[in-house]
Amino acid sequence: MADSVLLDILDQAGCMFDLRCILGQDSEVMHGDGKAVTTLKAKIPAKILTVISLLLFILLLSHPAVPENAFTQSLKLIYDGRLSLAPTKLFPSEEALMKEKILPAARNLWHEQESDLVCAPGFEATALDSARGSFTRPKSDQRAILYRYCETGHNMALNGIAIIENAQVVTHIVYEGGWDNSIGAMPDLNGNGLSGILVASGGTNQGVTWKSISIIEISGNRVTKFGQTETYSDNCGVGEKNGKAEACRLFVKVGKTPVFYREAFVNKGVCDGGTWTKSGTPGQISLKEDETEYQFIK
């Protein structure tokens, strides 16, 4: 009975998995001269061949051929560190909200905390970028505005994110951070219907340029911090002739606990243009802890 079942499985799998078929009792082999034909008789018992064939079949199923980009097939691309992002300009109504409500509210909070005492003299608050998504309410049409209230030092600033819906400010958070420069809407990362928020930052220190991103979500009066990771670096400021850059593409596998993946690239002639090539094996990463303290403005 067991032999019958095994034979049925192998028949369905086809000859490529069946040693009884490959080494069949009447197999023919052509000699090199193309004339003589020898008939081989299988000398391995049929039951043993059946078991070996089944094991081979199972082995091939458990180790299928994997295409180079297979790891991305169930993932969503969220960022490509090789690309430069162009900022999205505000609508006139959003510029009005910035001037009349968002910046005055930020000014009051920073002044109460005396944080504005370290603002660089003469620096004016600036809207940096905006993105469209459902940031605080599922299936809503909202805009997230990233702005810099002031600079407080080299790669240090007082920043803010305001969520706009129907020409009203529905959520407003501020934080002490770096020279953040762009914002993006991410897919729903954990199945709650809200768009994640990606904030990109960067700077140059001692000739080395770097870029990084932070990933957060705003739900009610809580900011969920998924983490941070570096996305780009080059040393063109150190030596242009030997300039090298490293960057990555980031992916996410959506779920109750989202999982992030990284695909690395290198450019050994980046200072003169150069070409990006893949570096290493793509794989899962753990984001660094985001130590930013976000504050809500009521």
Digitized pLDDT (tens) for each residue of the chain, 298 residues in all: 444 433 343 344 444 434 334 344 444 444 444 444 444 444 556 666 666 666 666 655 554 444 445 556 779 999 999 998 789 999 999 999 999 999 999 999 999 988 888 898 888 899 999 999 999 999 999 999 999 999 998 889 999 999 999 999 999 999 999 999 999 999 999 999 999 999 999 998 888 999 999 999 999 899 999 999 999 999 888 866 668 899 999 999 999 999 999 999 999 888 877 899 999 889 999 999 999 999 999 6
| CA-closest candidate to residue 61, choices 108, 119, 16 | 16
Q: Which amino acid is at 27?
A: S
CB proximity list for 203: less than 8 A, separation 6 or greater: 154, 155, 178, 179, 209, 210
Reported pTM: 0.75
Token pair 């770096």 is found at: 178
**Using CA atoms, how far apart are residues 106 and 123, in angstroms rounded to an integer?**
15
**Using CA atoms, how far apart are residues 268 and 2, in angstroms rounded to an integer?**
60
Contact 247, 265 (CB under 8 A): yes
**Using CA atoms, how far apart are residues 131 and 143, in angstroms rounded to an integer?**
5
